A and B are shown apart, each in its own frame.
Chain A
Amino acid sequence: GESVGLHLPTLSVQEGDNSIINCAYSNSASDYFIWYKQESGKGPQFIIDIRSNMDKRQGQRVTVLLNKTVKHLSLQIAATQPGDSAVYFCAEPATGANSKLTFGKGITLSVRP
């Protein structure tokens, strides 16, 4: 079936460096994507989203890039901080009645001081 997946299970970065988290999707008809951050012991937290009519969207220290040609999106975190340490998921809402979110398995971002 259709799926949303992540390339790497873990990512370790130095504090202050930029982080790039990648995600591939398989449904070429997908038109909306969401990035979530989940800290230990907490629920997933919305970070940023992007629709398929955009290639790039920026938030506070975060940028999401969408490449529809290769069905790939990435989350860029500028000047990574210790508070950015968490698991990051990309997700795709289904367009059916249940609006089921298809999540990637998650990638753990670890920030070295």
Chain B
Amino acid sequence: DAGITQSPRHKVTETGTPVTLRCHQTENHRYMYWYRQDPGHGLRLIHYSYGVKDTDKGEVSDGYSVSRSKTEDFLLTLESATSSQTSVYFCAISVRVGETQYFGPGTRLLVL
């Protein structure tokens, strides 16, 4: 998985609780991404980062926030989890914009 880890790998939480997912890379890649994968929708971009403290929204960013205080870590926070955020979340990294993205192993999140 190209030196990318995600934690936790599985999480069950209740509606209304905050949740933070962590992506950690050892490749020193500048760009980092958060996707969610759902049946019938494929992979959709939530947020991405183009450097430390530099982030921007993707196509499904509502209800999510991100932070990147170090090159190697990209955090995804669900401020108040909802059942619609039940999904598998993938982190990805790339060296440059428009280049291949390498994916982590994913986090399976269930919001009850």
Which A residues form the contact surface with B (CB < 8 A)? 32, 34, 36, 41-46, 49, 89, 93-101, 103-106
Inter-chain CA distance A32–B97, complex, in Å, is: 12
Q: Once bound together, how far apart are the Cα atoms of A103 and B33, in whole Å?
A: 15
Residue of B2, B43, B45, B103 contacting most chain A CB atoms (<10 Å): B43
State whether A46 touches B102 (Cβ < 8 A): yes
List the A side residues contacting B31 at CB < 8 Å: 99
A sample of 18 inter-chain contacts (CB < 8 A) reads A36-B103, A42-B105, A43-B1, A43-B103, A43-B106, A44-B43, A46-B102, A93-B101, A95-B98, A97-B50, A97-B97, A98-B45, A98-B97, A99-B94, A99-B99, A99-B101, A101-B92, A103-B42
Main DSSP-derived SS at the A contact region: loop
Q: Which residues of B contact A98 (CB under 8 A)?
A: 45, 48, 56, 58, 97
